[in-house]
Amino acid sequence: MKYLNCYSKNDIRIDNVAIPCIDENEALVRTIFCGLCITDVLKVVDDNLKKPVKLGHEVVGIIEKVGKKVENIKEGDMVALYHRIPCFKCNYCLHKKYSMCKHARETNLDPQGFSEFIRLSAEHVQYNTFVIKDKNFLKNAVFTEPVATCIRAIENIPILEKDKIMVIGCGTMGSIFLKLLKYYNFNVLAVDIDDNKLEFAKKFGATETLNLKTGSTLEKIRLFAPQGLDSAILTVTNTETINLSLSCLREGGYIQVFAGPLKEKKIEADFDKLYKKEISILSSYSSYPEINRKSFDLLMDGKINNLDFTPLVSHILPIERFEEGIDLALSQKSFKILFYINEEMLIM
């Protein structure tokens, strides 16, 4: 079968490897689409990360084969997958910090998302396989994992209806936040430095938009939220975005750090302001099965509840053009990029 192998950022090949075998409690999926996540991009370009490295986890496919003891899915089912599985028993899981669970960090799709076939373990079959009943929702289902991570981040913030929230960064993940926050009936200020992304943000859920390059930033934010913003969600994290959030949040506000800093590993912040204003800094990484199910169910009703994320799909490429996809993502001139392994799967 076809298998994307990243030997280095300048040496990415499509290898031919054996199709995984399954046991009586497992299933075999044939990949239709796998979305490119920023974490995949960072793994490819990181010279310090040991290669080869597993890539791809935003998968939709079709069940090719099931073990004789599998009852919840059958051959021919179209499915969306999620890769991580917590143990539900460790100290992290008991505190609902499932993404910190050692078992969750060790579990993954076998061999990876960017492969022609994927073996689903018994745990994946039980917790992380969602049947797509209408093929018209196939592309929306690719967003199951990224939307789930955003839902978790939102639900971890004590937000009230009609709160005023700032989302910094209007790429793919920022745009997902905008649509979700609109669905939850919040007022949202979308912030970026790219006018094209801000124009898209207006159509995708933003109440107002702000380009940081235009100046008078704090004054414009005060017009949107005279008493201060209730929360700020950072999909771009650096000294500027942290301190901007500290300056424009109301007393008792919340900063949700959704993306780690790409360059600045240490960020200076005004801790006197943070302390005296009782600002809470939160972080949210990944998701877990319960939220994944909620995400999937919302996406399957996407046309009804206006949670259709397919306008974010900017490119659909064959896996042989993976390096082109990486370049597009690094240029920040794309939103969600989907790859297919075999063109014949697209006409199903």
In a domain, 151, yes or no: no
In angstroms, the CA 139 to CA 143 distance is 8
Which range of residues forms the domain containing residue 229? Answer: 157-283
Partner residues linked to 166 by β-bridges = 189, 232
In angstroms, the CA 75 to CA 61 distance is 11
In a domain, 127, yes or no: yes
Instruction: Kindly tell me if the per-residue pLDDT of 345 is higher than 90.
Output: no
In angstroms, the CA 335 to CA 316 distance is 11
Average pLDDT over residues 43-49: 92
Whether 9 and 133 share a structural domain: yes
pTM over 0.85: yes
The pLDDT tens digits for 167-196 are: 999 999 999 999 999 999 999 999 999 999
One-letter amino acid of 261: P
Please tell me whether residue 32 adopts helix, strand or coil conformation: strand
Instruction: Kindly tell me if the per-residue pLDDT of 348 is higher than 60.
Output: no
- Residue partners of 301: CB distance under 8 A and separation at least 6: 307
Instruction: Kindly tell me if the per-residue pLDDT of 246 is higher than 90.
Output: yes
Work out the pLDDT band at 137, boundaries 50, 70, 90.
very high
CATH number assigned to the domain comprising residue 67 = 3.90.180.10
Whether 102 and 194 share a structural domain: no
Instruction: Kindly tell me if the per-residue pLDDT of 245 is higher than 90.
Output: yes
In sequence order, what DSSP letters do the residues of 81-135 get, joined into one string? E------SSSHHHHTT-GGG-HHHHH---BS-SSBSEEEEPHHHHHHSEEEES-G
The structure tokens 């259709």 sit at 308
Work out whether the CA dihedral 330, 336, 339, 344 comes out positive or negative: negative
Whether 299 and 269 share a structural domain: no
- Chain centroid to CA 84: how far? 13
Instruction: Kindly tell me if the per-residue pLDDT of 129 is higher than 90.
Output: yes
The pLDDT tens digits for 277-326 are: 999 999 998 998 889 999 999 999 866 778 999 999 999 999 999 999 99
In angstroms, the CA 336 to CA 329 distance is 9
Whether 271 and 302 share a structural domain: no
The pLDDT tens digits for 249-279 are: 999 999 999 998 877 888 888 889 999 999 9
